[in-house]
Structure formats: C-alpha cells, structure tokens
Chain A
Amino acid sequence: MSSAVNEFHAQPSDIDQSVSSPERLSTGILELDEILDGGLIARRDYLVRGGPGLGKTTLGLHFLCAGHEGERALFIGFQESEAELRANAASVGIDTSNVNILSLAESDAFFTEAQAYDVFAASDVEQAPMVNQLVEAIDRIRPTRVFVDSLTQLRFVSADLGQFRKQVASFLRFLDGRGATVLFTSESTREVPDDDLQFIADGVIALAQGPSSSELRVTKFRGSGFQRGAHPFRVDDSGFHVYRRTLPPPQRVVETAAVQLRSGNAELDGMLEGGVEAGTVTLVTGPTGIGKSTLAGLFAVASARAGRPAAVYQFEEEMNGWLARLRTLGVDADSPVREGMLSLEQVEPLRYLAAEFTNNVSRRVREEGLELVVIDSVAGFELALGGEEDVKQPLHAFIKTLSRLGVTVILVNENHAAVGNLQVSEREISYVADNVIYLAYVQSGDALAKIIGIMKKRLSGFDTRQRAFEIGPGGIRINGLASELGISVGIGNTPSRRN
C-alpha cells in the first residue's frame, strides 16, 4: 500500500471483506482513501467526473503528487499550457516539481495565425500526431501514475463514437500494460454525455454541487468495497479536502460497571444517582438564560479535574464571556484549560462544513483521548454548520459515533417553553439522548423561579422530583423540593412527537 490509511471508520457492512487484498495507491487525500477502502487499486483506470470548477483537476494533482520517491507521475492536459497548469497547482498549495506535464493544448498561434481548418475532420489531422506525442512521452517517462484531463478531448479527434470508445479502451490498455494507474476526467454535457467512459472505467468518482456544499460520491469501484453516499468536500488554497460521512462504529458490549461522570454539584449528582454514565448522551434543555451552558460547563470542568479530557464547542456565546461567567460563579475552568485537560473552541458560523466539524471532533477523540464533549448548542450547531443543509442526520450520526466511542456527550438545547410549562425539544433530538435534564421557569409570587428535574436516565434510577435552583456560587445552587415551595412545572402544549 502506498500510504498509511486510517482504518478507523471501516464498517463491515460497507466493505466487502471477501475480496483479497490488491495493491493500493493513495489518492493523496486521506479521507478519500478511507472512502475507497484503502485507496485506488493499482494499474486500473478511474474516471473523475463532474461539472466545471468543482475540483477534478485538483483531485488529479493530489493523486500525481502522492507517489513514493522514485514513482513517476505524468499529467496529460489538453486545455492549458504547462506553465498555466503548474501555476494553477501552486495556487492550491500543490508542488508539481516532481510531476511531468505533457500539454497538448493548442498555442495561441492557432487563433492569431488563423490555423483553424475545415478541409479535413480533426480525426484526420490531429489524431496521429497526438498519439505519437502520447506514446513518446509515456515510453520516455514510464509513469506509474497518470492523470488525463480530460479524456473527452479524444472524442474530438475521433471519427465517430465507436472509434472514440475503441481509442479510449486501447489507450487505457496501453497505459495499464506499462504499469500505470490512471485517473482521467470527463466533460459531460446533455448533448455529449460521458456514460461510455463510466462503463469503461474501473472506478468512478463523481463530484457534484449539493444543496449547501460540494459532494463527492464513489459510484463504482470494481474489485473493492467502498463507502457509498455523499461526502462533502471543499477546494481551497491548501488543496482538495473531503469530509467522510460519519458512520457510528459498531456498538460494543461493555461488561464492566459503568463509569459515572459527575457534575461536581452534590445535589445534582444525587438526583442523577451519582452522575451521568460514561458514553451516554445527556440533553440539557431549557429556555433562554436559565443556566444550561453553566450546567454543561460544570460537567466539563468536573470531568477535566477528574483526569478525563473534555472539550466544549461553543456555537453561540463568546467563549471569553462563558469563561468569565464561570469565574464569577467561582467555577475554576481556567486551571484545567491551562493544564490542557479542558479545551474550548468557539465555532464560527460558516467556518466548517457539518461533516468537516464532526470529523475533526472524531479525530480529536481518537488522537487526544477526549472523554467528554459539550455541544453548546444544538440550534447553534444547526445554524453554524447547516446553512441550507439538513444537519439532523449528520448530528445524530455524530452523537452516536461519539457515544459508541465511549465519549460522554452533553448537548445543550434551548426550548421555547412558556413559563410554567415543560418542553424537552422542538428538534426531535431527545430520542438520541440517554439522559434528559430539564430546566424551566415557573411563576413564584411576583418573581420567576427556576426548576430543575430529571426526565429520563436510561442506565440507572434517578430522582424524579423537581427542585428549585438558582445560579450562584459554585455554578448552581439547588434549594429544595419544588413541591415544598409550592411550585411545579408540567408538560407544555407543544411537546415533540418523539419525546
């Protein structure tokens, strides 16, 4: 195998394990290698298709530059000069100094010296010299990696469609016979579709514009399993980045007693019969300004202090403001931050694609051993990462993934319950939660009182009684049973259907 490929995400259900292990070549894009079950099978031919400007050429450049020392790479281009190709590659951070480039593009003299012709078909005039150039370059360079951009250009120097197909099949066999693995692009239009190239290719990587981001799909890969579905990607000044669709790993049966993570607040931990179990998902839900973020912060700080690395992803509130508030409440989040046990990230809107964010967090779990993750909040996650994209599915898959990796997840959710009412979530998110801690406002004389309760806890019993609480020293101060104070809260008028 040409590159180390992370097999973390391998899913038995997705990957055909019956195939023996052929030699694989890295595409130069780690996550694409993972989608391809380890990379491209060597000495085969792959079509990269998609509309203009989506990143086909950039993907091909990554492939050419991913070879080991001694591997030879050849770019065969039909539309741009060598200088233009190298400059374009540099603009996306790709160094092509080890890539041979054969540009078959017409020079400007074709236009300025009126070199257009109509006495012969292009196939009569250009095919033979082009083939000679190709054969000469391939025999001279002996590349193991070839990128042809685009093979559709051969269509214009072929007498007819039948000749074109024969020409392509013969050209690819010629390259395969010389030990090359070939990536080629197509230019598909309604008038001239590229279906024939899809049939000829051993694999097809399709790029398309999705509802809110560009998406990559592998639609064909002879002799190999691959992960189906749309994977978001972006091309920027550091190249082509694909964010593999998150799939939860298989669930493991845990025989040992569940570890509990505490909030550090004795009364709340008492209500939870010790805390929340490691690897569970806890929804902290309540209306605005009631103390959800503070409560979630208590779990993060307590986890970090207990030697379990935690991370808080703040989508709404400014991180400095959140930290300052904890300070005024006497909750020391600064020490675990300094000690590297608690990390905080302000997630700016539009900075990440949803899959990009979730993959980053999953990577940190693997590499840094995060044990508790706070997402503050669900609405912020949707707004910052979703745009027009439906993020419910990636959010749910993300949460399940973390949970099955043994990570404890605290989800902060704002609801719009009226005073005196109880509502879990309008977002149909509560069914993924193992535990639900609800906060609610209730009228108490001339003032609003706050109530906290546990609605659900899958892995242990819990105190079902509501309690009054205040935000104060230590984060929250739980005062006593709500019933003794003559206050309570009930299910409101708009409960989620799946709650």
Chain B
Amino acid sequence: MSARADKRIVIIVHEPGNRRVLGQAVAEIGRTPVAIDSEDALRACLTDDNPPRAALVDTSGFGHAVWALCGLLHEHEIPFLVLSTAKDHEASHRSLEYGAASVLSKPVTKDALLKLLQSLDRRDEAGP
C-alpha cells in the first residue's frame, strides 16, 4: 500500500499523552494517525490528494480555537468525534453545532471509540 493510499484519521489533540495513545489506538485498526494542532496544518491536510477519512477532536487545551478547526472539518464534510470532559456541557453543545457526529466524555472505552470511528469511515465500508 502506498503512502498516498493510507486511510488517514486526523487527530486534533493538544495533550501529548492523549495524542500518543489515540495515535496508537488508531494504528491498531489499520488507520494512519495524522496529528494536527493548527488551522493551517488542517487546511493543508484537508486539501491533500488523500484527504482524511475521519477525525478525532479533544477540546482540551485549545481554547476557542478548537471551534475553527471543527468548522473546517464540517466544511470539508469530514466526519469527526469530539472528546471532552464529562462536565463541559458547553463544549458538548458547541461540538454538535459545529457538526460533530458524536460527543464522548473522557475517559472512553477504547473498543467502543474505535468501532465508532470505523463506522464513520464510510469510504472504508464502500471498499477500495
């Protein structure tokens, strides 16, 4: 499989520890994690010849900038899941407003997250 054909999942996560374990989990289901931490980097990724199949967004650590990133994902019709702390109700609401497929409270069960992620990857279901 060439690098261009990788099934890429964008990981928009500020905390290095979370970025690491989410990247490892994504790799376990045969996807290539692409860590993004800025709007410019996300734009470049989204306009690439091999756009991402889906995205994971952790709202922690970005402040309001995270909503611009969610807006971009929505604009490019990239399905995405949002991870937030259990008590952050505002983040949950706004995530849905910006087009999140679902909002999950941390910590999440790895198996459940990965199954959800696979279900979002409709192109994967459609086959190569």
Contacts and interface: CB of A to CB of B under 8 A. Distances in A.
Interface of A: 113-121, 124-125
Contact of B16 (A113, A118, A121): A113
Interface in B16-47: 16-18, 20-22, 24-25
A115 B106 contact: no
Interface size class of B (residues with CB under 8 A): 10 to 19
A124 B18 contact: no
Given A115-B20, A119-B22, A125 B110 contact: yes
Contacts of A117: 15, 17-18, 20-21
A91 B39 CA distance: 55
A114 B16 CA distance: 6
B107 interface: yes
B21 A120 contact: yes
A196 to B, nearest CB: 24
A118 B15 CA distance: 9
A115 B25 CA distance: 15
A120 B17 contact: no
Contacts of B83: 119
Contacts of B109: 120-121, 124
Chain B CB within 10 Å — which of A114, A119, A121, A125 has the most? A119
Contacts of A125: 21, 24, 110
Interface of B: 13, 15-18, 20-22, 24-25, 58, 83, 106-111, 113
Nearest to A159: B109
Nearest to A118: B106
A125 B106 CA distance: 14
A119 B108 contact: yes
A115 B16 CA distance: 6
A113 B17 CA distance: 8
A114 B109 CA distance: 22
Given A114-B15, A119-B18, A121-B107, 6 more contacts: A113-B16, A117-B18, A118-B15, A119-B106, A120-B21, A121-B109
Contacts of A115: 16-17, 20
Report, nearest first, the 3 A-B pairs whose CB atoms are least far apart: A117-B17, A124-B110, A115-B17
Contacts of A124: 107, 109-111
A156 to B, nearest CB: 14
B33 to A, nearest CB: 13
A177 to B, nearest CB: 29
B10 to A, nearest CB: 15
B107 A120 contact: yes
A118 B84 CA distance: 10
A117 B110 CA distance: 13
Contacts of B15: 114, 116-118
Contacts of A114: 15-17
Nearest to B83: A119
B62 to A, nearest CB: 15
A120 B16 contact: no
Contacts of B13: 119
Residue from B17, B20, B24, B111 with most neighbouring chain A CB atoms (10 Å)? B17
A115 B15 CA distance: 8
Nearest to A125: B21
A42 B106 CA distance: 45
B20 A120 contact: no
30 contacts: A113-B16, A114-B16, A114-B17, A115-B16, A115-B17, A116-B15, A116-B17, A117-B15, A117-B17, A117-B20, A117-B21, A118-B15, A118-B107, A119-B22, A119-B58, A119-B83, A119-B106, A120-B21, A120-B25, A120-B109, A120-B110, A120-B113, A121-B107, A121-B109, A124-B107, A124-B109, A124-B111, A125-B21, A125-B24, A125-B110
A123 to B, nearest CB: 9
Contacts of A120: 21, 25, 107-110, 113
Contacts of A121: 107, 109
B21 A119 contact: yes
A114 B17 CA distance: 6
Contacts of B111: 124
A117 B83 CA distance: 13
B47 to A, nearest CB: 28
B5 to A, nearest CB: 28
A70 B20 CA distance: 42
A121 B105 CA distance: 12
B114 to A, nearest CB: 10
